[in-house]
Chains A and B, each alone.
Chain A
Amino acid sequence: MKPVIIDVDTGVDDAIAILLALRSQELNVLGITTVSGNVEVDLATKNTLALLDLIDAEEIPVARGMDAPLIRPLVTAKHVHGSHGLGEYKVGASTRSIVQEHGVDFLIRTIKESAEPVTLILLGPLTNMAMALKKDPAIKENIDELIIMGGADAAGGNETPVAEFNIYVDPEAAQIVFESGLPITLVTWDATLHAWLTKNEVERLASSKDKAGKVAAKLIGFLGKVFHREQVPLCDPSAILAALDRSIIEAKQLPIQVETEGRITRGMTVIDTRPNRTAAPDDPRPRVHVAFKVDREKFSRLLMQLLTQSAE
């Protein structure tokens, strides 16, 4: 089993991603850290606890992380995720409690205490990760890799024409993370446009014996209404499934930079996709495994497999 920590801004697709992680046999979820992004961190935290309640999940440490991006004022995405961030689910009080520790400290401590190098699956703005790296750079020694949902190709943004939401919200944090030297797989917005389920597949999910399948179906249905289309891109789930089966994505190691100064291009991931170029030996840009494509068949097969198992 691979030890992982999942960082979320729950968030409708974060919720589906968490369900997938919990249902997988191969991921040992050491904890979930929350961050402000799709919604404010307090809502993201509440939603995460509520989601765990919905499927009667086992006890998993949930740690509340950063309130706001490193230096920018927070931008949220409630027009996509609903005013509370969990679609149509009304979120009440949970009997679960969060850990006392701040999410950033939880990240640092859990990474350092792990017997094996930890994989971090980052599904929201990169504020927590950046703070952790700044506070204790030594954590890099016990990190296997980062799998990040974020970024986009040149004309492929969602929050703006050129920027994907997670990177847009905290471009400085993204820059710190990309420049950390850690192995990174970036599942871009472009890739997730291929990660959708057919109407039939969603119906099968809705009639799954597993509550997790039913919950996922309802959340996907909500996104379908928001996007006014059937082919709803499932962003955060793509990152989780890529962690389970790398062949789901097509990734290439490419130089990357984050635009932090631009007025119009804020948050753009400038990925060097120019063909037939060899990077100069002193090229300082970090290299990251960038996925622009998801194999839809493999994606849906694995997702369905995980969320339509018989009830345990």
Chain B
Amino acid sequence: MLSTNQKRKVIIDCDPGHDDAIAILLAAGNPNIEIVAITTVAGNAEVEKTSVNALKVCEIAGLHDVPVARGAGQPLFRERLTAPDIHGESGMDGPQLPAPSKQLVEEHAVDLIIRKVLASDGDITLIPVGPLTNIAMAMIREPRIKSKIAEIVIMGGGMFGNTTPAAEFNIYVDAEAAKIVFESGVPITMMGLDLTHQALATPDVIKTLSAVNNKASTFVVELLQFFGKTYLEKFGFPHPPIHDACAVAYCIDPSVVETKRLRVDVETKGELTYGMTLVDLYGVTGREPNVNVALKLDQEKFWDMIKRSLEQLS
């Protein structure tokens, strides 16, 4: 366990994305987290768009010195799939933001991940909150990183799906990449839909965050207004789930979730079940457990973390 005055080093791999943006702000405003880098991937929108969005979020969060590197524009083998019906054409519709002056670094996201992990003391946590294409590519390209990654905290999967009845979006977009990561032997904690659907931005939550009354909180409220609308239209949810922030919340304080160590496998061949994460709840497969599956969220703690981070970002 980290000592209280030791920051947890993280690389956030994301496809901003409304909940990705909130996850980044949560990390940026928390004193326990050191964001080593942000890497982008195609997912909620094309990688060109998610990269611009990531830069915009960095400017709001004051992350001027954190490198943002662009990554894979397509899944490993599948046709690209995006989610404009949830996130809008830009991938982060809602808030009006000027073009960012912060620039991407030249380095490809995959190279940056490999370089940072290999140079580290084995103390970097990867927080992928988009499709796992970059992480898988890094592992294929440089298998040595597997023994040096401290932990991978994934937003993805679950015991039911949203993009298909069986599959959650991040895993569905690139199930082959997910399979590579889940079978890598690296310690994994998974925030699936079972967990993230407990992180609902209710009107009370929005009111509390709005009261922070700064640039960051205004941005978040605008995000939630758009995100809440599309989630209601598409899924019939009265309040939208802020999936990606759960992964960062766990890294700040693991006690914000209850987890169970289980065997999880990814289906890559099924006609109807492609992208499904098979969570062996009763241990029937006899396969070696490989994932800490997050099942219960301490909602009060979670929203309090977010409020505090936004307060810090004045």
| Residues of A that sit less than 8 Å from B by CB | 66-68, 70-71, 102, 104-105, 131, 134-137, 172, 175-176, 261
**Contact residues in A for B237 (Cβ distance below 8 Å):** none
Taking a contact as CB atoms closer than 8 A, the residue among A105, A131, A134 that contacts B74 in the complex is A134
Determine how close the nearest CB of chain B comes to the CB of A175; give it in whole angstroms. Answer: 7
On whether the beta carbons of A172 and B77 are closer than 8 Å, the reply is yes
On whether the beta carbons of B110 and A135 are closer than 8 Å, the reply is yes
**Contact residues in B for A102 (Cβ distance below 8 Å):** 141
8 A-B pairs besides A66-B140, A105-B111, A131-B137 with CB distance below 8 A are A68-B143, A71-B180, A102-B141, A104-B141, A135-B108, A135-B137, A137-B73, A137-B74
**Contact residues in A for B267 (Cβ distance below 8 Å):** none
The yes or no answer to B269 lying at the interface (CB within 8 A) is: yes
On whether the beta carbons of A71 and B176 are closer than 8 Å, the reply is yes
Once A134-B137, A135-B108, A135-B137 are accepted as A-B contacts, the answer to whether A67 and B143 lie under 8 Å apart by CB is yes
Q: How far is the CA of A266 from the CA of B276 in the complex (A)?
A: 23
Q: How far is the CA of A172 from the CA of B176 in the complex (A)?
A: 11
The yes or no answer to B246 lying at the interface (CB within 8 A) is: no
Taking a contact as CB atoms closer than 8 A, the residue among A70, A105, A134, A175 that contacts B72 in the complex is A134
The yes or no answer to B252 lying at the interface (CB within 8 A) is: no
Taking a contact as CB atoms closer than 8 A, the residue among B141, B179, B180, B269 that contacts A131 in the complex is B141
Please name the residue on chain A nearest to B133 by beta carbon: A134
- The size class of the interface chain B forms with chain A is 10 to 19
CB-contacts of B138-195 with A (<8 A): 140-141, 143, 176, 179-180
**Contact residues in B for A68 (Cβ distance below 8 Å):** 140, 143
**Contact residues in B for A172 (Cβ distance below 8 Å):** 76-77, 176
Determine how close the nearest CB of chain B comes to the CB of A70; give it in whole angstroms. Answer: 6
On whether the beta carbons of A176 and B108 are closer than 8 Å, the reply is no
A-B contact pairs, 13 of them (CB 8 A): A66-B141, A68-B143, A71-B179, A71-B180, A102-B141, A105-B111, A131-B141, A134-B137, A135-B72, A172-B77, A172-B176, A176-B77, A261-B269
**Contact residues in B for A66 (Cβ distance below 8 Å):** 140-141
Q: How far is the CA of A135 from the CA of B76 in the complex (A)?
A: 10
**Contact residues in B for A71 (Cβ distance below 8 Å):** 140, 176, 179-180
**Contact residues in B for A135 (Cβ distance below 8 Å):** 72, 108, 110, 137
CB-contacts of B91-145 with A (<8 A): 108, 110-111, 137, 140-141, 143
Determine how close the nearest CB of chain A comes to the CB of B118; give it in whole angstroms. Answer: 12
Q: How far is the CA of A104 from the CA of B110 in the complex (A)?
A: 12
Report, nearest first, the 7 A-B pairs whose CB atoms are least far apart.
A70-B140, A172-B77, A261-B269, A135-B108, A71-B180, A67-B143, A131-B141
Taking a contact as CB atoms closer than 8 A, the residue among A131, A136, A137, A175 that contacts B140 in the complex is A131
Determine how close the nearest CB of chain B comes to the CB of A81; give it in whole angstroms. Answer: 24
Q: How far is the CA of A136 from the CA of B108 in the complex (A)?
A: 9
Q: How far is the CA of A102 from the CA of B108 in the complex (A)?
A: 14
**Contact residues in A for B74 (Cβ distance below 8 Å):** 134, 137
Once A134-B137, A135-B110, A261-B269 are accepted as A-B contacts, the answer to whether A70 and B76 lie under 8 Å apart by CB is yes
CB-contacts of B177-220 with A (<8 A): 179-180
**Contact residues in A for B111 (Cβ distance below 8 Å):** 105
Please name the residue on chain A nearest to B71 by beta carbon: A135
Determine how close the nearest CB of chain B comes to the CB of A116; give it in whole angstroms. Answer: 25
**Contact residues in A for B176 (Cβ distance below 8 Å):** 71, 172
**Contact residues in B for A67 (Cβ distance below 8 Å):** 143
**Contact residues in A for B180 (Cβ distance below 8 Å):** 71
CB-contacts of B38-82 with A (<8 A): 72-74, 76-77
Please name the residue on chain B nearest to A104 by beta carbon: B141
Once A68-B143, A104-B141 are accepted as A-B contacts, the answer to whether A175 and B77 lie under 8 Å apart by CB is yes
**Contact residues in B for A104 (Cβ distance below 8 Å):** 141
Q: How far is the CA of A288 from the CA of B19 in the complex (A)?
A: 44
Please name the residue on chain A nearest to B140 by beta carbon: A70
Q: How far is the CA of A104 from the CA of B138 in the complex (A)?
A: 12
Determine how close the nearest CB of chain A comes to the CB of B79; give it in whole angstroms. Answer: 10
**Contact residues in A for B140 (Cβ distance below 8 Å):** 66, 68, 70-71, 131
On whether the beta carbons of B108 and A134 are closer than 8 Å, the reply is no
Q: How far is the CA of A134 from the CA of B73 in the complex (A)?
A: 8
Q: How far is the CA of A176 from the CA of B79 in the complex (A)?
A: 11
Q: How far is the CA of A13 from the CA of B154 in the complex (A)?
A: 45
**Contact residues in A for B72 (Cβ distance below 8 Å):** 134-135
**Contact residues in A for B73 (Cβ distance below 8 Å):** 137
Q: How far is the CA of A187 from the CA of B9 in the complex (A)?
A: 50
Determine how close the nearest CB of chain B comes to the CB of A182; give it in whole angstroms. Answer: 16
Once A71-B176, A71-B180, A261-B269 are accepted as A-B contacts, the answer to whether A134 and B143 lie under 8 Å apart by CB is no
Determine how close the nearest CB of chain B comes to the CB of A112; give it in whole angstroms. Answer: 13
